[in-house]
Each structure stands twice: as C-alpha cells, then as structure tokens.
C-alpha cells in the first residue's frame, strides 16, 4: 500500500512552527506584515484572500487587505503597490490573481519590489532560483519541495518527471528539484502538451509531479511500480451523487496509481493545503531578512 502524503497534517505542523517563529521575531520588536490586494468580485479569489487573512491572524502576523472594485484602473493598482513597496512596515505584497482583463498582470507583478515578492513571481526571484541563489520560491512548488523533504524522499540522482511547464508550478518545481543541494539533486525531465505521448516519460519517473489541470489524465498503466506521485491538479468533475453536484479530483487517477505507487498525495488534502503555509513562510522570511539582506 502506498504511503499517503498528508499535506493537511504537514501544513498544520508548519503553521505551529511559524507561530513560534512569529512570537520570536515579535519579541525582538519586529511585527511581520502581509499586504494583500484583491481587485474584483471573483468568489474563489475572495475565499482565498479570506483564508490568507485568517491564517495570518491565527499565528500573529498582521495583514492588510485592500478590496478594490472591478473598475479599478491599472494605474491605481500600480500606485497601491508603489505605496506598499515604500512602506517599511510591509514585508510581503500579494496581488490575488487573476486580475480583471483590462489590467496587465505581468506589468503589475513586475512592479512589486523583489524583496517583498512573497509569491515569487517577479523575474528577479525567478532568475535567483534558476541561478541557485536565495530567492522567494512560488508557494505551490515550495510546498511540494517541503512535502518531499518532510517525508524523507531521497531525490539525489532520481528521475523526476514534471508534467506541466507553467510559471506557477511546472517550471519552478523543475528548477528546485535540479538544484545541487541535499534535498534535491534530481535528474529532471519536463514534459508538456507538445509531447506526442506523455506516458513515454511518466513511465520512467521515480518521482512524478503532475501539474496539468486535466482530470485523472495519468492512469495506472502510465507509471512504474514504486513511483512517488505528487498530484498538483485541482479539477472539478460532475458528480450528481454529491450535494454540490461535483467532486474534486487531481491530474492522477488515484485509485489506479496508488496501487503501484510507494507514496502519493491525495486530492484534496495533498499539495493544496501546503500553498498557504508557504506564502506565510515567505512573508516571515522577508521579515527575518533571510533572502534580501538590506
């Protein structure tokens, strides 16, 4: 039977650890602060922002949330960020995505000071990650890295196959796992929609990371015995037997793949819960001046 990698439990452990770190730094007179900007009325975004606010509150980090209407202009957004960039009491800035279509997302992300870029999307942090320098790493890949580390999955010389090459998940996790350092040092293959047959790659994986957004794409026959599987996908599929009329599945067919895997993340309850803990970890690292010293 595969070990079930319990992201919910690990995230809760990390939350307790972060709380202790916050107490420590607060005792030294530093009060960590996260500034969040939400533009528009997207229901999912509102829920994500509320849970980030709640998390901060639970562990003693100050959060400021600015909720702006859909009609907010790009210039107004850039002004807010400029204000937060120059506010010494703000350690982390997060712009909840997606932004309304009339606002240029890359321009906004580029305007965030790299030293407060706790989402790790600024090209300076991307470049630092690739170069193996201290950086803010995007929260979902950082969560995957932390899960593998805490479950003591040795990656040295192992073949990690990443399916998906997004800037948010695929590219950063590939870069993290190939770094020459104790909890990484893997041989990494990245595949994407241009692959004529992804099973050619997934069958070779010692560690498989699926970040595709396609429900149960990877089946039992696509993996080898003993594989470690990290399923990042969050997909809604219709299920009229449930109260909501849908259920959430990953990019991996859990029933089939868990029979062959040595360890696997469930969906939900695997990678998902880690993301928020990593955002707060990055905020704390900013307050502790761990990445950018000035």
Active-site residue numbers? 52, 96, 119
Could you tell me the smallest distance in angstroms from the CB atom of residue 21 to ligand NDP?
Answer: 22
73 lies in the binding site for ligand NDP (CB under 6 A)? no
Could you tell me the smallest distance in angstroms from the CB atom of residue 121 to ligand NDP?
Answer: 12
Binds ligand NDP (CB under 6 A): choice among 164, 184, 229, 284 = 164
Cβ distance to ligand NDP smaller for residue 63 or 265: 265
249 lies in the binding site for ligand NDP (CB under 6 A)? no
Among the residue ranges 44-52, 116-124, 208-216, 222-230, the one whose residues contact ligand NDP (CB under 6 A)? 208-216
**What SS3 state is found at 184?**
coil
Residue count, binding to ligand NDP (CB under 6 A): 26
CA-based torsion, 75, 77, 78, 82: positive or negative = positive
Among the residue ranges 154-162, 173-181, 256-264, 270-278, the one whose residues contact ligand NDP (CB under 6 A)? 270-278
174 lies in the binding site for ligand NDP (CB under 6 A)? no
Task: Evaluate whether 113 touches 85 at the Cβ level (below 8 Å).
Answer: yes
| Interacting residues with ligand NDP between 102 and 161 (CB under 6 A) | 140
Q: 40 Cβ partners below 8 Å, 6+ apart?
A: 68, 69, 70, 72, 99, 100
279 lies in the binding site for ligand NDP (CB under 6 A)? no
Q: Phi, psi at residue 234, to the nearest 5°?
A: -130, 105
Strands of 126-255, DSSP E? 159-163, 187-191, 207-210, 228-231, 235-238, 246-249
How many angstroms separate the CA atoms of 126 and 132, rounded? 10
């Amino acid at each position: 039977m595969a070990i079930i990698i319990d992201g919910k439990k690990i995230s809760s452990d990390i939350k307790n650890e972060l709380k202790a770190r916050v107490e420590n730094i607060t005792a030294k007179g530093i009060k960590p602060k996260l500034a969040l900007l939400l533009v528009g009325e997207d229901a999912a975004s509102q829920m994500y922002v509320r849970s980030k606010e709640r998390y901060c509150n639970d562990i003693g980090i100050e959060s400021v949330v600015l909720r702006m209407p859909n009609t907010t202009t790009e210039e107004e957004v850039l002004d807010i960020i400029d204000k937060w960039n120059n506010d010494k009491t703000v350690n982390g800035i997060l712009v909840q995505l997606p932004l309304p279509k009339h606002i240029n997302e890359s321009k906004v992300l580029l305007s965030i000071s790299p030293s407060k870029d706790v989402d790790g999307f600024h090209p300076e942090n991307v470049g630092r990650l690739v170069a193996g320098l201290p950086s803010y790493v995007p929260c979902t890949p950082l969560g995957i890295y932390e899960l593998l580390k805490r479950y003591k999955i040795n990656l040295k010389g192992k073949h990690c196959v990443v399916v998906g090459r997004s800037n948010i998940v695929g590219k950063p996790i590939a870069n993290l796992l190939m770094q020459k350092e104790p909890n990484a040092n893997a041989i990494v293959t990245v595949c994407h929609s241009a692959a004529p047959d992804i099973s050619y790659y997934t069958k070779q994986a010692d560690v498989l990371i699926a970040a595709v957004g396609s429900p149960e794409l990877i089946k039992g026959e696509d993996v080898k015995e003993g594989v470690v599987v990290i399923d990042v996908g969050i997909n809604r599929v219709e299920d009229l037997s449930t109260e909501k009329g849908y259920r959430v599945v990953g990019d991996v067919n859990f029933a089939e793949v868990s029979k062959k895997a040595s360890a696997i993340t469930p969906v939900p309850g695997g990678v998902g819960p880690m993301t928020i803990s990593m955002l707060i970890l990055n905020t704390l690292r900013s307050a502790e001046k761990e990445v950018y010293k000035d």
